[in-house]
Structures are given as C-alpha cells and as structure tokens.
Chains A and B, each alone.
Chain A
C-alpha cells in the first residue's frame, strides 16, 4: 500500500503522531485547569457575596453561623471542583482515545501511543505507523479540540453577576439604617427602672460606669440583688467563648456593612441629678473647665463613634424638669461624644473614675458638686432640695433597635459596673449650700483661695 508520507522515517512519523496527540492533550488539560480556576473563583465570589449580604440581613449569631457554614460549603465546593478538574486531566492514552473517537480512527492512535514505548512492537508496527500517518490531517489538534475557554466561565460570570447585584442591593435596602447610624441620641432612664445583670466573660461592650460613690454603691447593691450568682458566670468559659465569637462576628459584620462596631467604649457616668439646677447653669459654672472630663450631674457620658446612633429616651421628666433634649444640648452641658479613639477614651474614663473614687473631685454628687472648689463659685443660692443620693436619673446612650435585637444584631447589654470604693474609703457626701453673712465672705474666700 502506498502512503504519501512513505519517504519519512518511522521514528519521525511516530514523533509526528505523538506531537499531534500531545497538542490535543495540552488543550484538553488547559480546559481542565480553566475549569478548576473559574469554578474556584466563582465559588469564592458567591461565598463572599453571601457573607456580605448576611452581614446586612442577619444578627451577629446568625451571621457567625451562616458565615461559618458558607465558608465550609465553599471550601467543600472548591475542593470538589479541583478534584473534578484533576479527574478531567488527560493522560496521553486518554487523549489518544479521544482523538480516535472524534476522528473516527478506530483506535489507531490509542494503539500507537500505547505501544510506542514498548521495545517489541510486532511485525505490523511499521504498517500501523504508515496507516496512521496517512490519516494525519484527520487528527490535527485544531480539528480535534479547538482552542476555547472552559464552560466554567459561565459559572464565573454567574457569580460575578450575583455579586454585582447583591452588593449594591444590600446597601440600597439598608440605606436608611446606615444613614440613621450618623445621628446618636441619649437614652435617659431611672436607676430603679434599670434592669442590671453582671457582664459575662468576653461580653465586653466597652461600657464603663462612673458615678458618685453613693450612686455606684446603689448600682452595685442593685446588681448584687438582681444577680446574686453573677460570680459563677465568670467561670463559664464556653459562654465566654461564645460571646467572644459573637463579638468577633459583630465586628466583622460592622466592617462589612460600614456600620459602627458594636464593641465600642461606652462610658456611663452616674451622678447626683443636681437638684433643680438647670443644665446650662451647670455648664456655665466655673467647674465647666473640667468639661474635658465630662462631669455632668445625672448624665451618662458615652464614648461612641460619630457613626453610632444617639437618641434621647426620656424616662418621664429629666432631673431639671424639662423635656428630653436632643443630643446637642447634652454636648453643651458637657455630654459629648468621645468616639475618636477607644484607648484614649478608655484612659480618660478610668481617670475620671479613679478621681471619683478618691473623692477629691468636686464632682461627687449634688448640685454644687464640682463648683465648690472654685472660690468664685462659693456663694450662690441656698440649696432648696434635700441632698442625698436618692432620685437620680440615669442617662444611657443606646443604639436604635428598629427590628428588635434579633435582626439588628445589637443585643441589649447592660453596663459594666465597677466597684467604686474599697473598704478603707468613704464616699464623699455633698455639702449643703447655706447662706453666708456678707462680713464673712471675704474671709472664707481668702481661705479657699489659699
């Protein structure tokens, strides 16, 4: 039988056949790797989009579980797709079989490839090579497998589309909440109406409470009364871990959504409600230079970022007999946001607290608290109301809960209460302001100036 390529040597012809099969094999393997790459990317993008959407839609605990499940499923899917791509890898024998099938060469190529490496090939080997080479146009690589992109690109395109739709839609859907996060108001409630429980390990909301010793003592007593077994919970490491994980999830959720992180330093400051003094009057007092310490009677001082929500929930009338005022009023009277940095505010808060405990500050309760240390403010109107630590109002900043704790992701966390004084310390008692005879005023003033 005459063949057009009869002049070529057998080895060259064999090389030609193997080269064409190798070319087909490379194309097939390229498709396999493309498949793995596209599917891995698609799965990662879809998982990311699901987590992103979940950050908006789910509470911290749901988000934590959902994200973990999504990541596990994504990991399984990626491993599966890689394994599948690995199985799609084409060996020389398989490539030859595919060539035979597509070019209808009746297993000529498979036989050549299988027997090429063997030393004893039989008397018909040269005939087989010649016969196969005569069909070389039929099994050229472009005819068998054209260069193309793997069908996995559709999965990637679908994933990108899903992500492209889910990201902006989530933001648009939750735009009111995001906008509301820019304004923050105060919450004012009465201490007697406040439900307290001890913070569990890991449940660090960053909230600190400082108040005059009597108020703090009341808070402590209330805490002990309401949570007699609070000490046992400290050892509950599982709950602590859960809370820690929830906090982490919450922080991640906040980062994704751009909302304020739930774990922020919140500084609550408790003090005497200042009797009948107007808040502006307090602010104008000489002690107002201590504004940086935010000592204001009857107010919690909060440390929240500018994005946190503030609103003033008036629990009845406030200490001044006035209706609840917007946050701007509070800022005027020394209640201002200190959300610039947690560490700074934390230090500040602790300083405030320590000074309260030492009792050397004038901010230890009463209307004149914080004013009497200034000689210029020594003489004012006599105290009308009975002094003491009763009847305080507590202002608490809180975030708005539009859908309840479950959907907002911000569960109610009571303030962490510190023990104000040790056993050797005595709380300062407010000094009642009395009328001073005009002839003694200069003497008293001199004493205080000294």
Chain B
C-alpha cells in the first residue's frame, strides 16, 4: 500500500475542509443543516452516528451522499430479522484452488469499508446488532478466532425508523452507547420540501463532487481527526462536561456517588432510570473540539459543549415509564440538565 504524505492541517484548513464537505452534501440534502453538521462532527471526532427519522426524510440518501463527497469506500447493509452476524463481519468459506486443494478462506463482510450504512438497524436481532459492536468500538472484527483490522477511517451510520416498531428489536444500551451522537431527521419545512421536489423531479440530479481524491481521502481524514484531538480543553471544561454527565444520573442510579457537588435536577430523579455513561463525557469533549475548530479556536468552550450535549447525551439516557406516560423526551432532560449545571456554575 502506498503511503500518502499529507500536510499537517491547520485550524483554518479544518474549517475550510469541513465547510466544503458540508456544501457538497447539501447539494443533495435539502435542509437538515444541523444533522449534516453533527454527522460530519461525529466523523471527525472518530465516532459513529445513529440517525433516527421517519421514512422518506433522506436518511439513506444523506449517508450515500457523504460517502461520495468523502470519496471513501461505502457499504450498505439493510438490516432484516433474518440477517446473521456473519452477513456483516464476513465468514470463512471453503475455496477450491486451481490445483484442486480446498482451503478455508476469510471472505470479508460489508463491515470492511470506510463508511458503513446500517439501514434500519433495529430490524435485526440483537445478536446481529451486536456483531457491529467490536467493529465500532475497536475497528476490528474477530471471525473464528482470527482478528481482522478495519481500515481507518471507519464510520458507521445506522438508521432507525421510530414509527414502525412491530417486528423490531430496540438496540441494547451497550450498543446505543457506542454511537457518538444520535441525529434526528425531522420532516422538512415547506420551503425545504419545495426545493426537494424541484431538485429531485427535474431532468438533472445534482452531482456531488468528491472533496478528496481516492488515494488521499483516508489520510486527509485521519490528519483532520488528529487535529481535532489536539484541540485543548481546560480542566474547567472537562469538569463541566463531567458535571453534565453526572447530572443526568438519578440519585439511585449506579453512576451516582454522594459527592456534594453533584447536580441533580428533580426532573432527572423523576424520569430517568439510567443516566449517561462516561462515554457521554467523551462525546461531549470530542464534539466540542470539532465545534471549536469550526469556530477558529484551538480551545473548547462551554458553548461548544452545550451545543452538542443533546445529540451526545440524549440517546444514552434511559427513561422510565413515568417519562413515557408524561411525554418527556430525553432531549428535554438534557436541556434541563444543561440549565441546572449552568446555574450551579462556580
């Protein structure tokens, strides 16, 4: 494999590249600015994204467009109830050589790519869903005792359909926790819908130009991901993120200690069964770093953390029955937590 030397990007390079990718995606995707930004943010932060939206809101199109814009290898898995783990990771098959010998050979599954789209991931069984865990967390898959590395950058985007719940298997908490953000795609407004109609029903479809060349794309993305990691976070910011995460944990949850500084909102104690895991804090800081770079800063601010908090924490919070009956959403909880932690700021 040829080593491609990429110049170390600057803060300005990052913002420029980010905006360019964003612009290419928006050639196809009308609206959903925040969703696209969060999607790209997760990509540069090195995480994975769970996209939730009703049918027809452009979930699959968004992911495919992103793959084209980044010029990275892209695979799509349509999750169904009969999908098996080997269908994702790959399996060992017996192959006959020219001399007639038969050997077991590993056939990589669709997981072996840079960008993986898991469409309607909640339609597969938990066993199959869990096949993605190792790939998402450790960028590797293990088949028959052999571990195979996945080529970086590795970016999993899974979609969820929230209304067709029959015959679905809600994702286990462990798998939900591995997604950096959960992005919601809502119905487009009137103007957006008009633009969608005109752009998709005309004679020409918008063409997306790749931002990187095929050879340089992985290295470019990796160097930009490294730059994100170099953004500085003052201890106060880390403390703030930690407080946010701890504030989502109700008093009786296993995450809560009796530390005096813990901030507990009454709403959290009433509606939350389990709060965010430490991965939530990591997601906050990484997402904040991307936002800081986009703002031309080399340091994160509280505003950056707040801006990404709902997407980073909402899907990590398990609500109880009272919340469902009262129509309380996890995003409400997070917004409330942000307010209470801000108010308790020293």
Contacts and interface: CB of A to CB of B under 8 A. Distances in A.
Interface string A95-127: 001001000001110111111000001111101
Contacts of A123: 8, 230
Contact of B297 (A93, A94, A97, A108): A108
B231 interface: yes
Contact of B300 (A97, A107, A113): A107
Contacts of A106: 295, 297, 299, 301, 303-304
Contact of B299 (A1, A93, A94, A107): A107
A93 B240 CA distance: 14
A178 interface: no
A122 B230 contact: yes
Contacts of A97: 236
A124 B11 contact: yes
Contacts of A107: 234, 236-237, 299-302
B337 to A, nearest CB: 20
B132 to A, nearest CB: 32
B211 interface: no
Contact of B233 (A111, A112, A131): A111
Interface string B213-228: 0000000000000010
B12 A108 contact: no
Interface in A351-403: none
Interface in A107-159: 107-108, 110-115, 121-125, 127-128, 131
Nearest to B238: A114
Q: Is the interface of A mostly helix, strand, loop or mixed?
A: helix
Contacts of B231: 122, 124
B236 A115 contact: no
Interface centre among A100, A115, A122, A127 (most CB of B within 10 A): A127
A111 B299 contact: yes
Contacts of B296: 1, 131
Interface residues of B, number: 24
Interface residues of A, number: 22
B310 to A, nearest CB: 20
Contacts of B304: 106
A115 B238 CA distance: 13
B298 A124 contact: yes
B127 to A, nearest CB: 42
A124 B236 contact: no
B208 interface: no
B12 A1 contact: yes
A131 B300 contact: no
Nearest to A122: B230
Contacts of B202: none
B235 interface: yes
Interface string B8-37: 101110000000000000000000000000
B234 A127 contact: no
Interface centre among B10, B12, B232, B295 (most CB of A within 10 A): B232
A108 B299 contact: yes
A121 B302 CA distance: 20
Given A106-B304, A107-B302, 4 more contacts: A100-B301, A107-B234, A107-B300, A108-B299
26 contacts: A1-B10, A93-B235, A97-B236, A100-B301, A106-B297, A107-B234, A107-B301, A108-B299, A108-B301, A110-B236, A110-B237, A111-B233, A111-B234, A111-B237, A114-B234, A114-B236, A115-B234, A121-B232, A122-B230, A122-B232, A124-B227, A124-B230, A127-B10, A127-B298, A128-B232, A131-B298
Interface of A: 1, 93-94, 97, 100, 106-108, 110-115, 121-125, 127-128, 131
Of all A-B residue pairs in the complex, the 10 with the closest CB atoms, nearest first, are A106-B301, A124-B298, A111-B299, A114-B234, A107-B301, A111-B234, A128-B298, A127-B298, A110-B234, A122-B230
